[in-house]
Chains A and B, each alone.
Chain A
């Protein structure tokens, strides 16, 4: 996922982050890098109160931003980083990720069994899942006729909603919409199949209002757009403002996205880093993410503790885990990432 957004919590956290930057870091401080607003604003204080270990939070805007820093520095300067699963895989392949010491993270027991056997890292050897979810269609049920049911409702929209749709521009999700519509894997790299995906997405581009990764739900609220390509959690922000907004997973399916916590091999403070992960996996702390950023968390104890009203207001929060893990996880595609970048450039440059 890209940056999560909680309109209420973010400003406080930005201020918090700014203050943290201003204070000189003590040598023993943990350095945690996370998306802005992706954990409780008082999490670091609560962590210190619970364990005695202090830490500071730095924020990154995108996976790519933090990856650039980690690769350039060999992982030095950070103890725990939050990245999406394909990037955790890369960190592991580069030898930058510390193996997870399960004995030091007893709260791993809170995870759903399904979250411990995911294909990218079965057995949680180098990463710990933090949030997960789907990518689908978010729409105004009062302004769209009928219920959208297919990726083609977005990629080849009816005349009535042409010019009122948006798509995600982050390469993997942009491509996934086309890959799923064509019935291909979200990790497909075959050149001929990807050429079909490209053509489909170029024709879809002509019908779009805009590409939008960050404000699509506000466009739905204002009525500028009526059907948008969205991460489930972000659609919830729209639903929170207008109950006519609904989320649907197209019949061709979704990807399964997963954000994770990774301990850096270069960390000089690994025990405290594992303590931090254990702290985040505590049912109460992990439930904060579900309740406040409206993302599903792979923590059974946390999900079970949520008030029933949450899933009533935001139906995708109540999605059964068995259904969720049926979808294909985004994987690191290695050298093919270069082809993906080029295809995305071609789509964006197409007139």
Chain B
């Protein structure tokens, strides 16, 4: 216990405490920190401009989450349905991209999507001669990058409950006259919901604070909250305001993780009951 607590204190509590403390001071005229207590940084974080950036980040992260969950769940379902000896191979391929650097994976999308990129060349090879499509530096490119980079989290999170699912439950459901769709909707989906929720929260939390993908794939035209924090620390040299924004972001993430943990707790309770019922039935 003691080493774990020391680890938490040194690497989590102290740094977060420092950031939190910073948020209550003022920015000095030349970017230093003036040690006078103020709450104005938190007030400023709720200014319509910055609140709007928060909301816009949430919208982009939410869209990425939705797409990642749909694709990731389908992929996890397919892997869980594959012959057992092949499943580890498929999972290996699903997480393989993690072996390369996040930046390199993001740059790969620039190579693919830019106006003179591989996609355009492919189109031209098929005889397309018009103006090349403008795919890079769009919101779609940002969302694509986020989905691509965080998809493996959803696949892994959904695969675990799907692989554990007792196949007899599905058989029992169909025996009792439920269609495949109903079986999925009423039996499989509820039992794997904790996995979906875990995967979704991962993608959302990582996406909303991301600053690399909007900077590279959005061409700086889409400001997300992560970029705003980055700018405060590294461009505007307004550390106190950057700290206040970070704290707001951390609060949102903590809230979501707590809700997800509570939901997972309740769902696993329900799942145990359902499994029990099925075994008795």
Residues of A within 8 A of B (CB): 62, 64-65, 67-68, 71-72, 90, 93-94, 163, 166, 169-171, 205, 208-212, 222-224, 334-335, 337-338, 341-342, 344-346, 348-349, 351
Q: Tell me which of A62, A212, A224 contacts B115 (CB under 8 A).
A: A224
Question: Is residue B279 contacting chain A, with contact meaning CB distance below 8 A?
Answer: no
User: Does the CB pair A71–B31 fall under 8 Å?
Assistant: yes
User: Does the CB pair A209–B219 fall under 8 Å?
Assistant: yes
How many whole Å from A117's CB to the nearest CB in chain B? 25
How many whole Å from A324's CB to the nearest CB in chain B? 27
Report the separation of the CA atoms of residues A342 and B236 in the bound assembly, to the nearest whole angstrom.
9
User: Does the CB pair A345–B228 fall under 8 Å?
Assistant: yes
Chain B 203-239, CB-CB to A under 8 Å as 1, else 0, gives: 0000000000000001111010001100111111110
Chain B 163-193, CB-CB to A under 8 Å as 1, else 0, gives: 0000000000000000000000000000000
Question: Is residue B32 contacting chain A, with contact meaning CB distance below 8 A?
Answer: yes
Q: Which chain B residue has the least Cβ–Cβ distance from A209? A: B137
User: Does the CB pair B235–A171 fall under 8 Å?
Assistant: yes
Chain A residues within 8 Å of B31, by CB: 64, 67-68, 71, 90, 337
User: Does the CB pair A222–B235 fall under 8 Å?
Assistant: no
Question: Is residue B122 contacting chain A, with contact meaning CB distance below 8 A?
Answer: no
User: Does the CB pair B221–A349 fall under 8 Å?
Assistant: no
15 contacts between A and B (CB under 8 A): A65-B234, A67-B30, A94-B30, A94-B32, A171-B235, A209-B219, A210-B136, A341-B231, A344-B231, A345-B50, A345-B228, A345-B231, A348-B227, A349-B52, A349-B56
Q: Tell me which of A64, A171, A208, A349 contacts B49 (CB under 8 A).
A: A349
Question: Is residue B114 contacting chain A, with contact meaning CB distance below 8 A?
Answer: yes
Q: Tell me which of B32, B223, B232 contacts A348 (CB under 8 A).
A: B223
Report the separation of the CA atoms of residues A210 and B115 in the bound assembly, to the nearest whole angstrom.
12
Q: From known contacts A222-B116, A224-B115, A338-B27, infer whether A346 and B221 are also in contact, taking CB-CB under 8 Å.
A: no
Chain A residues within 8 Å of B233, by CB: 68
Q: Tell me which of A65, A94, A335, A338 contacts B238 (CB under 8 A).
A: A338
Question: Is residue B38 contacting chain A, with contact meaning CB distance below 8 A?
Answer: no
Residues from 36 to 53 in B contacting A, C-beta threshold 8 Å: 49-50, 52-53
Chain A residues within 8 Å of B96, by CB: none
Question: Is residue B103 contacting chain A, with contact meaning CB distance below 8 A?
Answer: no
Q: Tell me which of B32, B53, B221, B236 contacts A338 (CB under 8 A).
A: B236
Q: Which chain A residue has the least Cβ–Cβ distance from B53? A: A349
Q: Tell me which of B32, B219, B228, B235 contacts A212 (CB under 8 A).
A: B219
Chain B residues within 8 Å of A65, by CB: 234
Q: From known contacts A68-B237, A71-B31, A224-B116, infer whether A345 and B220 are also in contact, taking CB-CB under 8 Å.
A: no
Q: Which chain A residue has the least Cβ–Cβ distance from B27? A: A338
Report the separation of the CA atoms of residues A132 and B2 in the bound assembly, to the nearest whole angstrom.
57
Chain B residues within 8 Å of A210, by CB: 136-137, 218-221
Question: Is residue B29 contacting chain A, with contact meaning CB distance below 8 A?
Answer: yes
Chain A residues within 8 Å of B137, by CB: 209-210
Knowing that A71-B237, A205-B221 are A-B contacts, what are 13 other residue pairs whose CB atoms are under 8 Å apart, sorted by A's residue number? A62-B235, A64-B234, A64-B236, A71-B30, A71-B32, A90-B31, A208-B221, A210-B137, A211-B219, A212-B219, A223-B116, A224-B114, A349-B228
Chain B residues within 8 Å of A346, by CB: 49
Number of B interface residues, CB 8 Å? 32
Chain A residues within 8 Å of B49, by CB: 342, 345-346, 349
Chain A residues within 8 Å of B114, by CB: 222, 224
User: Does the CB pair A211–B231 fall under 8 Å?
Assistant: no
Q: Tell me which of A90, A344, A351 contacts B30 (CB under 8 A).
A: A90
Report the separation of the CA atoms of residues A346 and B53 in the bound assembly, to the nearest whole angstrom.
10
How many whole Å from A267's CB to the nearest CB in chain B? 20
Question: Is residue B134 contacting chain A, with contact meaning CB distance below 8 A?
Answer: yes
How many whole Å from B241's CB to the nearest CB in chain A? 9
User: Does the CB pair B29–A62 fall under 8 Å?
Assistant: no
Q: Which chain A residue has the least Cβ–Cβ distance from B44? A: A342
Report the separation of the CA atoms of residues A211 and B53 in the bound assembly, to the nearest whole angstrom.
18
Interface centre among B32, B56, B218, B238 (most CB of A within 10 A): B32
Q: From known contacts A171-B235, A349-B49, infer whether A212 and B220 are also in contact, taking CB-CB under 8 Å.
A: yes
Chain A residues within 8 Å of B231, by CB: 341, 344-345
> Which 5 pairs between the two chains have the least Cβ-Cβ distance?
A210-B219, A211-B220, A341-B236, A348-B223, A210-B137
Chain B residues within 8 Å of A72, by CB: 32
Chain A residues within 8 Å of B32, by CB: 71-72, 94
Report the separation of the CA atoms of residues A337 and B30 in the bound assembly, to the nearest whole angstrom.
9
How many whole Å from B267's CB to the nearest CB in chain A? 37
Report the separation of the CA atoms of residues A169 and B233 in the bound assembly, to the nearest whole angstrom.
16
User: Does the CB pair A341–B228 fall under 8 Å?
Assistant: no
How many whole Å from A343's CB to the nearest CB in chain B? 10
User: Does the CB pair B30–A345 fall under 8 Å?
Assistant: no
User: Does the CB pair B235–A64 fall under 8 Å?
Assistant: yes
How many whole Å from A88's CB to the nearest CB in chain B? 12
Interface centre among A94, A342, A346, A349 (most CB of B within 10 A): A349
User: Does the CB pair A169–B236 fall under 8 Å?
Assistant: no
Chain A residues within 8 Å of B218, by CB: 210
How many whole Å from A136's CB to the nearest CB in chain B? 20
How many whole Å from A73's CB to the nearest CB in chain B? 11
Chain B residues within 8 Å of A93, by CB: 30
Chain A residues within 8 Å of B29, by CB: 334-335
Q: Which chain A residue has the least Cβ–Cβ distance from B239? A: A68
Chain B residues within 8 Å of A169, by CB: 220
How many whole Å from B47's CB to the nearest CB in chain A? 9
Q: Which chain B residue has the least Cβ–Cβ distance from A335? A: B29
Chain B residues within 8 Å of A341, by CB: 231-232, 235-236, 238
Report the separation of the CA atoms of residues A337 and B231 in the bound assembly, to the nearest whole angstrom.
13
How many whole Å from A307's CB to the nearest CB in chain B? 34
Chain B residues within 8 Å of A224, by CB: 114-116
